[in-house]
Amino acid sequence: MVKNVIKMVDIDKRFPGVHALKDCSFELNKGEVHALIGENGAGKSTLMKILTGVYDKNGGAIYYKGKEVEINSPKAAQELGISIIHQELNLMPDLTVAENIYIGREPMRFKGIFCDSLLQNKMAKELLDNMNVKIEPTVKVEQLTVAQQQMIEIAKALSFNSEVLIMDEPTAALTESEIDELFRIIQELKAKGVGIVYISHRMEELKKICDRVTVMRDGEYVGMKNMNEVTIDEIIKMMVGREIYEGVHDLERHQNHEVVLEVKHLTSGKKVKDVSFQLRKGEILGFAGLMGAGRTEVARCLFGADPKDSGEIYINGQKVHIRSPKDAVANGIGYLSEDRKRYGLVLGLDVNTNIAMATMPKFSNRLGFLKEDQEKVNATKYIDTLSIKTPSGKQLVQNLSGGNQQKVVIGKWLTRNCDILIFDEPTRGIDVGAKSEIYKLLNELADQGMSIIMISSELPEVLRMSHRIMVMCEGKITGELSRNIATQERIMTCATDRTA
Amino acid sequence: MEHIIADISTTKKKNLFKSGAAQKLLALGALVLLILFFTLASPVFMTSSNLISILLATAVNGVLAVGVTFVIITGGIDLSIGTGMTFASVMTGVAITFLGLPIFVGVFVGILTGAFIGFINGINVAKLKIPAFIATLGMMMITKGLSLVISGAKPIYFMDTPEFANISKATVLGIPSGVIIFFLAAVLAHIILNKTIIGRFNFAIGSNLQATRLSGINTERWLIIIHSLTGAFVGLAGVLMAARLNSAQPALGQGYELDAIAAVVIGGTSLSGGKGTISGTVIGAFIMSVLLNGLRIMSVPQEWQTVLTGVIVIVAVFVDIYRRNKQSI
């Protein structure tokens, strides 16, 4: 009996012009959680795409339970019992839980004419009960939280009798308590002998849940360690191949600086209830809370992206009316969405244009003709100062890495002279190296007198990067903590304070 | 950071392929092949009188196609361009023949009518959030009905102003003026799309409406402007049409929108928005008219011409989608 379910040996993959994987190896044991980590572009997803039959390999061999196999299509992988749960969930919101799990494999009655939805629901129930998850199979997926939807994806994978489960950034959209629930399920799967490949950027998690870790860098296998024999710092060093800037800037306090933004009794629908706060010049104000606490909604409402029902907004002591993003921008507010690709950037256009996007009238003459040379001069300035890694300003934004895309959005608002910046999850989907660069940038912006609202679900990030922390729960502000008294525990207490 | 450099070298290659240049080249190649084929198949095809008639046939559809390219790049659609064109030509007829206004005023009325239809479409789509397909389908019926009502369901002839026909039929160096106007319109559209802020927002809205709005841009207003712009070109097509027929024909027009949209798509403009070129559309318009003309010369029955046009559209879109899919892996 061989111990490992998966063994990938000397995997080689070339794309036209890039050597994406060079002799990479990976192995996974039965009932093991094996972390696969590396910076964006290190080759993790390419390796996993080869394992799941999305890409063909150019060299090397894959062994499944000791036997060499050719996995040349996703279907072949599925039939072997290898399933992947992508970061973006692939569920149909209008269908029920059971329908989603058994899509394309519905149990049939009467010679395959009718779907047997009773049996289907029963099967789904058993599956979910087995996982110890309390979700009704007849509920529509759109009514579930992201965490619950993820459980459904896991259940779906298990319904294929998968013995290998690949999870790509499973906790990216989850809150602390949801993560605990996910970890509980991972433990149960482990006990049942399922091998799990765990891809994540969150170092703290790896320690908690993983048995071994394989590190990749620049398409190469760097090494494999037992989790209990290695520190997080050592892992990071393996990942980036150098010491990284830690980013813990000792932030000076800005208590005496004037208030640039004051929000009074902001209310919008059910998600924002009577929210009041002040933001000072040069301050980084963190917004903490669980998923769905209403932080993003406050930001969108303040930015005019969503309508507000009542409440007042003062900028530099003057009352302002913000009915659309246009009004907000005119008042010097810039918003950096958590979903850069959907809300922050026009991916199909180049860097120059994206940086100019909020300031277009300045870059065109009275007849509407564009001044592309000025656009270029401006963009070049920010490519230099923000050190955006791009071959030229003509590069399409979709080809930049997450960290560099974030910098393009920052450049866009700096071009517009915005001095109040709202960062919603500023480092989501950004790898460790680029993360510390973003932190450095946040510090520099604050030092230059910009005022920053930073919404983050990562508590260490909030604690490290904020002067003051507002905590929200169910649409209300449930706590305000200054930097010197804030701890993870205090924040969590406020974040779960449903009585307020 | 070796991998970053490596990444960039591949993306560069991809871009060249992705930029729509490939589709345009394909379309251009197809056009050349069509011309070669018909030249060999029929002695009549390469005669100057036939070439002129191809050019004339392309002019009206070409201006329509060039106009609707703007709206299609926003990710929208305008089905009212065919009957909108008819309505514009009827209004030109009303201005010149019924009201006896000068010809240049009539031309202006035609273009303005088109722009106004586009403006209403823009309000419906951008402000009232009616899906473009439905909003412009409704406008198609409205303009079709209004054309018949206003003209009394009879053609309006430009009997007192025979010079009006010169807009389409006067020749410069043997080339009909309608064709020259078409080329000028295409050049103008190309400049608007690539050199002005309208074009910039056109692509931005088409690639990502939300991100554009959240950059503080009044996307509703720009959508209305872009629809009006398409409408102005539709109005111009109406004037050309009226001049070519020396009359405003209220019953014509329906079906033209599909030919124009087909030309846009064949030219490589993506129906999902964000990508497209005017030169591609011009090539697409020529493919349509060369094909129809050639088939007619070869005495292929009208019905089969229509069938073949449909096949060409599907093949063109398939080639485009196939190409995109291949890249995305």
pLDDT in tens, A228-237: 888 877 887 7
Banded model confidence at residue B239, pLDDT cuts 50, 70, 90: very high
Percent of chain B exceeding pLDDT 90 equals: 54
- Please answer yes or no on whether B215 and A15 come within 8 Å at the CB atom: no
Residues of A in contact with B216 (CB under 8 A): 325-326, 328-330, 358, 416
In this prediction, the answer to ipTM > 0.85 reads: no
Q: In what helix (H) or strand (E) does residue B265 lie, and over which residues does it extend? A: helix B256-266
Identify any residues that bridge with A9 across adjacent strands, giving them in sequence order: A61
Banded model confidence at residue A436, pLDDT cuts 50, 70, 90: confident
Q: Which residues between 169 and 208 in chain B have a beta carbon less than 8 angstroms from any beta carbon of chain A?
A: 195-198, 200-201, 203-204, 207-208
Task: Indicate whether A16 pLDDT > 90.
Answer: no
Predicted pLDDT of residue B14? 42
Task: Indicate whether B130 pLDDT > 90.
Answer: yes
- Please answer yes or no on whether A325 and B214 come within 8 Å at the CB atom: yes
Domains in chain A: boundaries: 4-240, 259-495
Residues of A in contact with B274 (CB under 8 A): 348
- The DSSP annotation for A381-432 comes to HHHHHTT---S-TTSBGGGS-HHHHHHHHHHHHHHTT--EEEEESTTTT--H
Q: A4-240 has which CATH code?
A: 3.40.50.300
| Residue in A339, A357, A437 to test binding to B, most B beta-carbons within 10 Å | A357
Nearest in space to A172 (alpha carbons), one of A97, A233, A89: A89
Nearest in space to A334 (alpha carbons), one of A411, A444, A278, A418: A418
Q: Which amino acid belongs to residue A11? A: I
Over residues B262-289, mean pLDDT:
90
Residues of A in contact with B197 (CB under 8 A): 360-361, 363-364, 368-370
Predicted pLDDT of residue A256? 61
Task: Indicate whether A1 pLDDT > 70.
Answer: no
pLDDT in tens, A37-88: 887 667 888 899 899 888 888 889 999 988 999 988 888 888 888 988 887 7
Would you state the structure tokens that stand for residue A483, as one six-digit string?
Answer: 């930097």
pLDDT in tens, B5-27: 334 344 444 444 444 566 677 88
Max CA-CA distance within chain B?
75
Task: Indicate whether A500 pLDDT > 60.
Answer: no
Tokens 């892996």 label which residue? Answer: B329
Residues of B in contact with A19 (CB under 8 A): 6
- State the Cα–Cα distance between residues A261 and A303, nearest whole angstrom: 12
Q: In what helix (H) or strand (E) does residue A237 lie, and over which residues does it extend? A: helix A232-240
Is the Cα torsion angle B223, B226, B231, B232 positive or negative in sign?
A: positive
Over residues A329-344, mean pLDDT:
88
Nearest in space to B297 (alpha carbons), one of B10, B16, B50: B50
Would you state the structure tokens that stand for residue A378, as one six-digit string?
Answer: 């401006």
| Residue in B73, B200, B214 to test binding to A, most A beta-carbons within 10 Å | B214
Residues of B in contact with A361 (CB under 8 A): 197
Nearest CA in chain B to A404: B4
- State the Cα–Cα distance between residues B241 and B260, nearest whole angstrom: 14
Smallest Cβ–Cβ distance between A412 and the set B13, B215, B329 belongs to B215
Q: Return phi, psi of residue A144, to 5°.
A: -90, 155
Average pLDDT across chain A, whole number: 85
Q: A259-495 has which CATH code?
A: 3.40.50.300
Predicted pLDDT of residue A264? 93
- Please report the number of interchain residue pairs, chain A to chain B, with beta-carbon separation below 8 angstroms: 111
Q: Do domains A4-240 and A259-495 have the same CATH topology?
A: yes
| Fold category of B23-328 in CATH | ABC transporter involved in vitamin B12 uptake, BtuC (1.10.3470)
Would you state the structure tokens that stand for residue A44, as one six-digit string?
Answer: 């993790």
Q: What is the 3-state secondary structure (H, E, C) of B177-222?
A: HHHHHHHHHHHHHHHHHHHEHHHHHHHHHHHCHHHHHCCCCCHHHH
Task: Indicate whether B268 pLDDT > 60.
Answer: yes
Banded model confidence at residue A249, pLDDT cuts 50, 70, 90: low
Banded model confidence at residue B228, pLDDT cuts 50, 70, 90: very high
pLDDT in tens, B292-328: 899 888 888 888 888 888 888 788 778 777 766 655 4
